Amino acid sequence: MRWRSSGIRWAVCLVAAGLVAAGCSADDPSAEGLSGELGTTSDINPRPREEIREGGNLRLAVTSYPANWNTLSNDGNEGEIADIQRPMMPRSFIVDAAGELTVNQDYFTSVELTNTNPQQVTYTINPKATWSDGNPITWEDIASQANALSGRDKSFFIAITNGFEFVEKVERGVDDRQAVLTFSHPFAEWRGQFSGNSSLFPKSVTATPESFNEGLRDAMGPTAGPFQIQSADRGQSRIVLGRNPNWWGERPKLDTITYTVLDRSAWVGGLRNNEIDAISLASIDDVQNVRNTPGIEVRRAPGNRWRHITFNGAPGSILAEQGVRVAISKAIDRQGIAAATQAGLVENPRPLNNHLYLQGQKGYQDNSLPFDPDAAARELDALGWKLNGDVREKDGRKLIIRDVMYNDPLWVQIAQIIQQNLARIGVGLTIDTKPAAGFFTDVIQPGDFDAAQFIFAGDAFSLSSMRQIYYYDPDDLQGNYGRIGSPELNDLIDRTLRELDPDKAIEMANEVDRTVFEMGHSLPLTQSDGSWGVRSDLANFGSPGLATYDYTKIGFVQ
């Protein structure tokens, strides 16, 4: 599943392609050994439980207060909200740094593919698993969520179907603690339906469109994890999680986890002033500032978040024509953007060249369009977009793109590089910055952009996001904010998701990715290097790679 995020700030390292600022040398020693590829590593200061002291408050920062606590809904489909919920909500699998899966025994004693014709998956729920309102977790919670995300009732404002469009029915198993899902078609990524970035919600949230769309807009509902909401105050911009007294698993070491809404530009200062315990870092300046602060260390494993540009192909948009989007894609120097933003952070900065797989994941290959501004100019000429002064025109309309992004210095710098790239071929670009509050609900979802820059997060379930983002149904956009697609691509996505042979699924997924590039749907830029600044005595937390945290083991060393 792809989570969106707008609010990661990178201190500016270069003002434009080829202009390197002081302290940003590409051979900076801080980048030694950091390849930028996901692998089998994480950097979290792993310590056994006996070395962690009892109690303590983990202080973290977020850029905005949740607009909707339901991360299954389009309004709540944001990475920061999911991060806040992870210590509180059920997921079916635990993922290690290499992307290997084991059943999360706190919630399920088994999750098994029990039949292939038809495909059936059986979830056996831990008999101790209970929602915070006292109700047991049962097969009805699974059935209700499967129905809500199926896409059959368009009144549910869902972010992703996540394969539930293929679930024909959900039945009670041997008792209320077992659910049997029967699929109308095979679904390759069945393990990710209640895992990765997608958790199980109680039926009180997913039962009706009203409860799904509006029920968690102002407050979190029932939870089921080692932590629960202790207090949440939108006015004070603070959320505090406390231990769940009815938690049936290992007792958490921490007393509380506190999330404070703080502008991203203040995060490094908050960490250095002992107001925050851990933050993500995104520039060599951040890394050097943190490294030189006593009591703080840099932890790094290649990250799973990636920057990209989504194009708007809706009728009437300046980029409605596929050929124009493709030409513009070829004119953007993504390698220059990678060098500009990641110098000193990785050894060999390079762009991300796949929409579905991250660098280092099995299946990753370069399916991108070549950087070729001369070809881009010729293609625009052939499409009737002729130079008139500095900017091309067609039928009296100037080829000027409005590029929308979170008001963040690095996003603006990336846009300025793109602005220079496109000026070379006679395309104008207007930089339009927006505040974090309402960025998705008021700007991205309605399609109020020609191009939009934001961040997606990948996970171990690479195929689960294909339908969410790249399938086009005008009556069910989900995450396809650019409104770009075709029946042929839809069919290829469906066939890929039905392929149970992992190697064949990878081959088909890369065919999907090539098609997405060729349609000019969107353009990946760079994958995060995964740098974190963390208080030195904090254990089992930091830069996890693909791995999931064990929130019961996070804490401060004795």
Q: Is the pLDDT of residue 475 over 60?
A: yes
The percent of residues in the chain predicted with pLDDT above 90, rounded, is: 75
Strands 522-527 and 19-20: unpaired
Q: What is the rounded CA–CA span in Å between residue 341 and residue 352? A: 13
Farthest CA pair distance, the chain: 74
Question: Quick one: average pLDDT of 13-39?
Answer: 39
Three-state DSSP at 237 gives coil
Question: Quick one: average pLDDT of 535-551?
Answer: 95
Question: Quick one: average pLDDT of 99-121?
Answer: 96
Q: Is the pLDDT of residue 6 over 90?
A: no
Q: Is the pLDDT of residue 15 over 70?
A: no
3-state helix/strand/coil string of 496-549: HHCCCCHHHHHHHHHHHHHHHHHCCCEEEEEECCCEEEEECCEECCCECCCCCC
Quick: pLDDT tens for 245-287: 999 999 999 999 999 999 888 999 999 999 999 999 878 888 9
Residue 98 CA to chain centroid, in angstroms?
18
Q: Is the pLDDT of residue 470 over 80?
A: yes
Task: Please compute, for residue 548, the number of CA atoms within 13 A of its CA located in the half-sphere on the CB side.
Answer: 28
Question: Quick one: average pLDDT of 353-375?
Answer: 94
What pLDDT score does 521 carry?
98
Would you state the CATH architecture of domain 79-215? Alpha-Beta Complex (3.90)
Q: How confident is the model at residue 420 (pLDDT cuts 50, 70, 90)?
A: very high
Q: Is the pLDDT of residue 16 over 50?
A: no
What pLDDT score does 160 carry?
86
Question: How many residues would you count in the chain?
Answer: 558
Q: Is the pLDDT of residue 209 over 90?
A: yes
Report CA-CA distances (Å) from 98 to 271, 373, 467. Answer: 29, 38, 24
Q: How confident is the model at residue 30 (pLDDT cuts 50, 70, 90)?
A: low
Identify whether 118 is preceded by a cis peptide bond (ω within 30 of 0).
Answer: yes
Q: Quick check: 90 and 225 in contact, CB under 8 A?
A: yes
Q: Is the pLDDT of residue 35 over 60?
A: no
CATH 3.10.105.10 fits 305-527, yes or no: yes
| Burial class for 282, CB neighbours closer than 10 Å (0-12, 13-18, 19+) | buried
What pLDDT score does 152 carry?
93
Q: How confident is the model at residue 359 (pLDDT cuts 50, 70, 90)?
A: confident
Task: Please compute, for residue 88, the number of CA atoms within 13 A of its CA located in the half-sphere on the CB side.
Answer: 27
Which alpha helices (DSSP H) does 299-443 contain, by range? 322-331, 334-342, 373-382, 409-423
Report CA-CA distances (Å) from 510 to 185, 322, 394, 442. Answer: 21, 20, 35, 33
> Which residues, 6 or more positions from 350, have their beta carbon under 8 angstroms from its beta carbon?
36, 335, 338
Lowest mean pLDDT among 121-135, 193-207, 453-467: 453-467
Quick: pLDDT tens for 255-265: 999 999 998 88
Q: Is the pLDDT of residue 408 over 50?
A: yes
Task: Say what the pTM is.
Answer: 0.81
The percent of residues in the chain predicted with pLDDT above 70, rounded, is: 93
Question: Quick one: average pLDDT of 309-336?
Answer: 98
Q: Is the pLDDT of residue 7 over 90?
A: no
355/362: higher pLDDT:
355
What are the residue ranges of CATH 3.10.105.10 in the chain?
Answer: 305-527
| Burial class for 434, CB neighbours closer than 10 Å (0-12, 13-18, 19+) | buried
Q: Quick check: 9 and 282 in contact, CB under 8 A?
A: yes
Q: What is the rounded CA–CA span in Å between residue 306 and residue 403? A: 18
What are the residue ranges of CATH 3.40.190.10 in the chain?
Answer: 49-63+226-303+532-557
Q: How confident is the model at residue 361 (pLDDT cuts 50, 70, 90)?
A: confident
Q: Within 10 A of 388 (CB to CB), how many other CB atoms are there?
A: 13
Question: Quick one: average pLDDT of 120-134?
Answer: 98
Q: For tokens 């820059």, name the residue.
A: 453
CATH of domain 49-63+226-303+532-557: 3.40.190.10
R_g over Cα of the chain: 23
Q: Is the dihedral of CA 59, 64, 70, 76 positive or negative?
A: negative
Lowest mean pLDDT among 171-175, 289-293, 364-368, 549-553: 289-293
Q: How confident is the model at residue 156 (pLDDT cuts 50, 70, 90)?
A: very high
What pLDDT score does 37 carry?
57
What are the residue ranges of CATH 3.90.76.10 in the chain?
Answer: 79-215
Question: Quick one: average pLDDT of 201-219?
Answer: 97
Mean residue pLDDT across the chain: 91
Q: What is the rounded CA–CA span in Å between residue 254 and residue 271? A: 19
